A and B are shown apart, each in its own frame.
Chain A
Amino acid sequence: MGQSEPSLELEELGIEVATVESVVDRHGRDPSAVIAILQDLQEEVNYLPEGTLRYVAERLDIPVSKVYSLATFYRAFSLEPRGRHLIHVCLGTACHVRGAVKVLDTLEREMGIAAGETDEQMEFTLETVNCLGACALGPVVVVDGEYHGQMTGAKATRLIKKLRRSEQE
């Protein structure tokens, strides 16, 4: 690797080494549990900065390239920091036939970011999901775990305005 010590990198990122250690320990330093380790780490740290990938690779004694390939293969992982609020737009088939694309277009336009991006203030991250299984409510938008059903473009506009207001307060 020839770069700085993985633990130093974590400190630079402001991530406690102990946090990462405890996650790795929880899974018994088992290389086959690497996906679960990355999932738990992302929950703790909000995303997977490069430093955490290097650290996990060293601790499990597997190549960084392997950890990186996992972190980029699985949709659940984010290598970019995410905003304080997560907005998920369901693009499942049921939501699609009921107009989810229009809802997503509206959100992208109103927020000025594309799906998968976070706004500059680090307030909102807009993501799409393949299906939330709440098809009766479709099209569905989930904000920080709260479901908003039967969405339309007009309702999406109102939702964003409301979120912005509550963020300013």
Chain B
Amino acid sequence: MAQVERLRGSEHLERLRATLAAARDPDKTCIAICTGTGCLAGGCKQVVNAFREEIERQGLADEVDIRTTGCHGFCERGPLVVIHPRGIFYQRLSAQDVPEVISETIVKGRVIDRLLYEDPQTGEKIVYEHDVPFYKLQRRLILGDNGLIDPTSIEDYIARGGYGALARALHTMQPEEIIDTVKKSGLRGRGGAGFPTGRKWESCRKAEGEPKYVICNADEGDPGAYMNRSTLEGNPHLVLEGMVIGAYAIGSHEGYIYIRHEYPLALENIALAMEAMRAHGLLGENILGSGFSFDIRIARGGGAFVCGESSALMRSLEGGVGEPRAKYVRSVDRGLWDKPSTLNNVETWANVPHIINKGLEWYTSIGTEGSKGTKIFSLVGKVNNTGLVEVPMGITLREIIFDIGGGIPDGKKFKAVQTGGPSGGCIPESLLDLPVDFDELTKVGSMMGSGGMIVMDERTCMVDMARYFLSFLREESCGKCTPCREGIARSLEVLDRICNGEGRPDDITLLEELGELLKGFSLCALGRTAANPVLSTIRYFSDEYEAHIRDHRCPAGVCKALITYSIDPEKCTGCTACARQCPQEAIRGEKKAAHTIDQSLCIKCGVCLDTCKFDAVLVQ
């Protein structure tokens, strides 16, 4: 990195921002390419290289900027490219498309029809990013800049007003005033429990003991959720700015960010961002000339779900086994190294600069009475538009899944949506008009959690889902307290036998009893909420449990022991594709004649179902 000047105060930061902004021509063509993990997996690196080479080859380097950005959110359609200033949105782009994009769109200004997003409802091709229904209905406070900035460039962040909130906080606000603002904003913890952030900060500020610690929980462990990863990867400075403001408000000089080790890109971008902050005097000694000093250390998680629990995470930071402890002593009084500590989730920290910058009136106008602001959800599973969606609190599940998410693929029927990760519950179709906020989700037996939202269709077995979460939790229970360790293991045994067709008539009652035990007596939230996936599926889908136990039938066609594969002779064309793939050689039949499956050989691996192009394989 070139030698940069340390920023000495608010005016100095403002001068830098003005210089950076002035050096950028808003009318200059800029190709913003998503390089989030989803698009990377989809091959965006080749797209980036192709753009670089082609622009060089056509001698356009002075006229066109290329910006590699973080996750834009519409992962289903990756690799994604947006061409500014017009905002032309190209999706599922490959390296082969690049020369045409340059010669047609960049040089001649023509839109290439085939690369546009087509609205599946209307069949209409959509040219601009802001018109795509997936984006149109969102309110992207936190994720909005992901598509506009290069996460490795602090200049990009500052040019868009970054660190303005920190300058305001340090130079014009007293710590108590910041805490008061955060309290009045109604911001609640985005990690799952929804505890009021301002109150947490206040307790920690008032707690006795030095030093005080500020911690960012970036150990996003919920399967099916990746909001935090995309925020860290795409806009690391936003999270770090929030942490520095929080540290100043609380009176802390040391912080930690605990990042999941499965997130190498997030680790890299956060480390780069911190290096740039230090060079600019935004982290370390005498931040922005204010006299306030604060520094952050990065810790990599060890891949234990329970470390998302605050007290377990703190034990892990100390170099110990991540076991939670009872909460009669609060972390704000005695947390990391037994010192007052404030731990907040990535998304919570990322909200802070916006609250300071844009004020209370603006922030509290978004959301519901008890839940202010926006929430990012990772909308995944059996849904057309898989991706990250950021919506104002209070929007309905139906709007998220059908209007933004585009509904269920392959014309299948919606069955349930699961929120809150392994601690949450499954919500049925009858509750789709539920407004999404912390309190409403809890009322129906689920929870907000960190923001995983998994959509399930008619081919998802709800008993199998409950078993899936319980088997996840059995692996991840730390084993310290008996109710959690044994309660989960016994519940799983019961679910296993139900799925194997060996369920007993009183098993549902037994599961409910075990659930009450887990809820009432576990040490930490992992155990206390572990029964939610079981209890919520029993509550809304008891008929599926009954079918498994009484009729030895899996209505969704998932539980291996209860299903058989067969071939519909009407639909089978005798193409022999399935017979060639079958690992058991269980499928027989002449060419161009209907085939049959020998049930005594079939191991129900489902390869025939995956292979058949004529929907001739039946699961019953």
Contacts between the two chains (Cβ within 8 Å), count: 154
- Selected contact of B224 from candidates A92, A106, A154, CB within 8 Å: A92
B224, A135: Cβ atoms closer than 8 Å? yes
Number of chain A residues whose Cβ lies closer than 8 Å to a Cβ of chain B? 47
CB-based contact A35/B76 at 8 Å: no
**Chain A residues near B37 (CB, 8 Å)?**
132-134
**Which residue on chain B has the smallest CB distance to residue A69?**
B321
Question: What are 8 A-B interface contacts by the 8 Å CB criterion?
Answer: A76-B301, A97-B465, A102-B606, A133-B220, A135-B378, A152-B607, A153-B605, A155-B610
Which one of B262, B320, B381, B452 lies within 8 Å of A132 (CB-CB)? B262
Report, as a range, how many residues of chain B touch the other chain: 35 or more
| A132 vs B292: C-alpha distance when bound (angstroms) | 38
B583 touches A109 (CB 8 A): yes
Is A45 engaged at the interface, CB distance under 8 Å to the other chain?
no
Tell me whether A75 and B76 are in contact in the complex, defined as CB-CB below 8 angstroms, given that A129-B262, A135-B226, A157-B581 are known contacts.
no
Closest to B422 in A: A93
Give the contacts of B605-620 with A (CB-CB under 8 A).
Answer: 605-607, 610-611
Q: Which residue from A39, A96, A153 sits with its C-beta under 8 Å from B468?
A: A96
- A33-B319, A149-B41 are contacts. A93–B454 as well, Cβ < 8 Å? yes
What 6 pairs across the A-B complex have the smallest Cβ distances?
A74-B302, A133-B226, A93-B224, A136-B75, A75-B303, A94-B380
* Closest-CB distance, B161 to chain A (whole angstroms): 29
Chain B positions within 8 Å of A77 at CB level: 302
- Chain A residues near B319 (CB-CB < 8 A): 30-35, 70
Say if the beta carbon of B300 comes within 8 Å of chain A: yes
B555 interface residue (CB < 8 Å to A):
no
State whether the Cβ of A131 lies closer than 8 Å to any Cβ in chain B.
Answer: yes
In contact, B607 and A75 (Cβ under 8 angstroms): no
**Residue in B closest to A148 when the chains form the complex, CB atoms:** B41
Query: Do A98 and B468 have beta carbons less than 8 Å apart?
Result: no
Cβ of A122 under 8 Å from chain B? no
Tell me the complex Cα distance, A134–B37, Å: 7
Q: Are B302 and A106 in contact (CB under 8 A)?
A: no
- B596 at the A/B interface (Cβ < 8 Å)? no
Most A CB contacts (10 A, CB to CB) among B41, B262, B322, B456 go to B41
Q: A133-B262, A154-B611 are in contact. List 8 more A-B contacts (CB 8 A).
A: A35-B299, A66-B320, A76-B303, A109-B605, A133-B229, A137-B42, A147-B41, A153-B605
Neighbouring B residues of A31 by C-beta, 8 Å: 319
Asked if B607 contacts A153 (CB within 8 A), the reply is yes
Given known A-B contacts A70-B321, A157-B607, A97 and B454 have beta carbons under 8 A apart:
yes
**A93-B75 in contact (CB<8A):** no
A69, B230: Cα distance in complex, Å: 32
Task: Known A109-B605, A154-B611; judge A130-B454 contact (CB<8 A).
Answer: no
**Is there an interface contact between A153 and B606, defined as CB atoms closer than 8 Å?**
yes
Interface residue ranges, B against A (CB under 8 Å): 37-38, 40-42, 75-76, 78, 220-226, 229-230, 261-263, 299-305, 316-322, 378, 380-382, 386-387, 418, 421, 452, 454-456, 460, 465, 468-469, 472, 478, 581, 583, 605-607, 610-611
Instruction: Determine whether the beta carbon of B304 is less than 8 Å from that of A75.
Output: yes
Q: Write out the residue numbers on chain B whose beta carbons fall within 8 Å of the beta carbon of A135.
A: 38, 75, 224, 226, 378, 380-381, 386
Instruction: Let me know if A131 and B302 touch, CB within 8 A.
Output: no
Tell me the residues in window 136-153 of chain A with beta carbons closer than 8 Å to chain B beta carbons: 136-138, 140, 147, 149, 152-153
A131 partner residues in chain B, CB cutoff 8 A: 221-226, 262
Task: List, in ascending order, chain A residues with CB within 8 A of B611's CB.
Answer: 154
Cα-based distance from A129 to B611 in the complex (angstroms): 26
Residues of A contacting B316 in the complex (Cβ-Cβ under 8 angstroms):
35
Q: Given the complex of chains A and B, what is the CA–CA distance between A32 and B223 in angstroms?
A: 28
**Nearest CB of chain B from residue A113's CB, rounded to whole Å:** 16
CB < 8 Å neighbour of B318 from A32, A97, A130, A134: A32
A76 touches B380 (CB 8 A): no
Contact A73:B38 (CB < 8 A) given known A154-B581, A157-B581: no
Let me know if A49 is at the binding interface, CB within 8 A.
no
Taking CB atoms, residues of chain B closer than 8 Å to A33 are: 319
The one of A35, A94, A99 in contact with B606, judged by C-beta atoms closer than 8 angstroms, is A99
Determine whether the beta carbon of A93 is less than 8 Å from that of B606: no
- A36 engages B380 (CB within 8 Å): no
Question: At the interface, yes or no: A89 with Cβ under 8 Å from chain B?
Answer: no
Determine the distance from Cα of A109 to Cα of B584 in the docked complex, in whole angstroms: 11
B302, A39: Cβ atoms closer than 8 Å: yes
A56 CB, min distance to chain B CBs, angstroms: 11
Smallest Cβ distance from A100 to chain B, in angstroms? Answer: 10
| A30→B469 CA distance, assembly (Å) | 37
Provide the residues of chain B in CB contact with A80, threshold 8 Å.
none
Chain B residues contacting A110 (CB-CB under 8 Å) are 583
Cα A19 to Cα B263 with chains together (Å) = 25
A105 at the interface (CB under 8 A from B): yes
A98 vs B76: C-alpha distance when bound (angstroms): 14
**Docked-complex contact B302 and A75, CB < 8 angstroms:** yes
Within 8 A of B (CB), among A20-47: 30-36, 39
A109 to B603, CA, bound (A): 11
Cβ-based interface call for A53 (8 A): no
Q: Which residues of A contact B226 (CB under 8 A)?
A: 131, 133-135
Choose among B301, B319, B455 the residue with the greatest number of A CB atoms under 10 Å from its CB. B319
A91 at the binding interface (Cβ < 8 Å): yes
Chain B residues closer than 8 Å to A132, beta-carbon distance: 37, 262
CB pair A136–B78 under 8 Å, yes or no, is: yes
